[in-house]
Amino acid sequence: MTLSKKETTPNYCLEVESALKYGIEEKVMQMFTPLSHATSIGKKMDVRVATLAENFLEVNNTSTDIDIDSLVEKFADSNVPIEPSNFDSYFEYLANNVVSHSVQTSSPKFIGHMTSALPYFVQPLAKLMTAMNQNSVKIETAKALSFYERQALAMMHRLIYQFGDRFYAQHAQNSESTLGILVSGGTTANITALWCARNAFLGPKDGFLGVETEGLTAALDFYGYKGAVIIGSELMHYSFDKAADLLGIGTRGLVKIPANREGRVDISALRQAVAQCRLQNQYIIAIVGIAGTTDSGGVDALSDIAEIAQQNNIHFHVDAAWGGPLIFSKQHGHKLAGIERADSVTIDGHKQLYLPMGIGMLFLRDPHLAKAIEKQASYTMRKGSFDLGKRALEGSRPGMALFLHAGLNLIGSQGYEFLIDEGIRKTQYMADRIRSMPEFELLAEPDTNLLIYRYIPEPLRGLVAKKQLTEIDNLLINEFNENLQKNQRQTGHTFISRTTKIISEFDKKIPVIALRAVIANPLTTEDDIDIVLNEQIEIALKLQFQFL
């Protein structure tokens, strides 16, 4: 930021410096005084920020049309201000430069990513969490919160696995058991799942200390495997690439099985891959099932995958980061059938549980599986303690359980059911609209509340209907849709994202650029959906003029 030049000038004489320093001490100490929120400056900040937040949430557009170059210029200065900046000028700066050019993820017409409006209670809770400043890594810095977190995770575990009262009485608040791990996001949850699976199956045996201690090469050698793989749909989230890379098996060890048009993995191809890996003496760390692909929301046939995993005694992980909350729905929960047979399940709180960013969760069927990754340290996290950091990838972390527990209580299972049902209902509405409009082509029947489609320029519509598009036509349509999406995003009234589907046609794999809608915001109405589609038609007409 550039407040005033004076503040970044380091060449003042020592006398001035010590005079300044006196002021600085006072200023700094004032910031830490617990009563400062009752003082005028604290109150002023509260009101200022509340108004800023309020105004932000009232904006009707999805973003401003500021371009990248202007943003680059705004944030170019890399000097740390020497003196404490004045609150008023900093918040003014924040309002004009950051808040104003942020993305209106809560806009009913921002229907392109898995980020949407949040229930209002998360705002005061965020303040409370920060005021409490608990560190969930250990009991000494998180006392009640450790048990409260375990309770919230047990609730979610119960929704997935539906074990009985006795099971939860035994494990929910038992320091030896880990029903779930709260992490910063789905990526960390997926990595942790595969880490647990790798370490548990290649563990200590007959004097060998296990992969955790002796490393992957030695472990594969000891157990007599040629290599290690993870098997799942080609639509697996890119966090699995990260996991394969991190865990030392390499992304080549990620065996990707084709998915059909609706985004569901080909079960017989999956079965074949498992057999082939076994034949090649590859150790299969896990089979991954997806409950809601990031790409188009497809849900794999989880029961079929569970069957294969069980028959072969392989860890079955379900990435339900997006689709997990379908378990709340009587109408749609059946799509997740088989998830209860998973050894581990990832769910994101900041997606369809409508909680703030930074809440990933991993659930474990076996309450003792996480012991495979347990670590200790003398200054913290002692054996036998309730220190939650013992069995986790992360160390110090905020008390995000506040949001999860509050969400489960303040929204309730019926509240979540309503949110899920509504999202899918409106997605069906959008699919119907797209089918009925000559301008668009629906690219897949939606399983959940993600939808992929594309705009077809007028001269090519006949060919689409007759299924006579050439490869060149497809490339033209791709280019057109990419321009359409960029144009819509830059205009900033409405927002739809885009993705690239790889489709088999003309005897080869060809890329199809798709427009991608995510209908999760409860505030999005059918009218909003119509507005988004109509804006696309409007933009397309302008582009078509250039295109022809």
Nearest distance from C-beta of residue 466 to a copy of itself, angstroms? 28
Query: Counting contacts by CB under 8 A, is residue 258 touching a copy of itself?
Result: no
Query: Counting contacts by CB under 8 A, is residue 129 touching a copy of itself?
Result: yes
Query: Counting contacts by CB under 8 A, is residue 533 touching a copy of itself?
Result: no
Query: Counting contacts by CB under 8 A, is residue 191 touching a copy of itself?
Result: yes
Query: Cβ(154)–Cβ(168) under 8 Å?
Result: yes
Query: Counting contacts by CB under 8 A, is residue 90 touching a copy of itself?
Result: yes
List 36, 303, 491, 525, residue binding a copy of itself (CB under 8 A): 36
155-184 residues in contact with a copy of itself (CB under 8 A) are 155-159, 168-169, 172-173, 184
Stretch that binds a copy of itself, among 142-150, 307-315, 336-344, 527-535 (CB under 8 A): 142-150
Distance of CA 141 to the CA centre of its chain: 27
Beta carbon nearer to a copy of itself, 84 or 333? 84
Query: 3-state SS string over 109-160?
Result: CECCCCCCCCCCCHHHHHHHHHHHCCCCCCHHHCHHHHHHHHHHHHHHHHHH
Query: Counting contacts by CB under 8 A, is residue 428 touching a copy of itself?
Result: no
Stretch that binds a copy of itself, among 41-49, 362-370, 439-447, 455-463 (CB under 8 A): 41-49
Distance from C-alpha of 189 to C-alpha of 270, rounded to nearest angstrom: 23
List 181, 200, 201, 212, residue binding a copy of itself (CB under 8 A): 212
Contacts of 537 (CB under 8 A, 6+ apart): 437, 439, 455
Task: Please give the radius of gyration of the chain, using alpha carbons only, rounded to the nearest integer.
Answer: 26
List 182, 193, 195, 494, residue binding a copy of itself (CB under 8 A): 195
Q: Where are the alpha helices (DSSP H) in 162-238?
A: 165-171, 186-201, 211-214, 216-223
Beta bridge partners of 259: 265
Binding mask 316-355 for a copy of itself (x = CB under 8 A): --------------------------------x-x---x-
Query: Counting contacts by CB under 8 A, is residue 33 touching a copy of itself?
Result: yes
Distance from C-alpha of 155 to C-alpha of 148, rounded to nearest angstrom: 11
List 61, 234, 242, 463, residue binding a copy of itself (CB under 8 A): 242
Nearest distance from C-beta of residue 271 to a copy of itself, angstroms? 24
Residue whose structure tokens are 């450790």: 146
Query: Counting contacts by CB under 8 A, is residue 217 touching a copy of itself?
Result: yes
Query: Counting contacts by CB under 8 A, is residue 503 touching a copy of itself?
Result: no
Query: Counting contacts by CB under 8 A, is residue 370 touching a copy of itself?
Result: no
93, two tokens: 């700066």
Query: Counting contacts by CB under 8 A, is residue 285 touching a copy of itself?
Result: no
Q: Given strand 227-233, what is the order of strands in its sheet?
A: 180-183, 360-364, 344-348, 316-319, 282-290, 227-233, 254-257
Burial class of residue 467 in the structure, from the number of CB atoms within 10 Å of its CB (0-12 exposed, 13-18 middle, 19+ buried): exposed
Query: Counting contacts by CB under 8 A, is residue 247 touching a copy of itself?
Result: yes
List 4, 88, 121, 176, residue binding a copy of itself (CB under 8 A): 121
Number of residues that bind a copy of itself (CB under 8 A): 187
473, two tokens: 């036509």
Beta carbon nearer to a copy of itself, 131 or 279? 131
Query: Counting contacts by CB under 8 A, is residue 483 touching a copy of itself?
Result: no
Other CB atoms closer than 10 Å to residue 354's CB: what's the count? Answer: 22
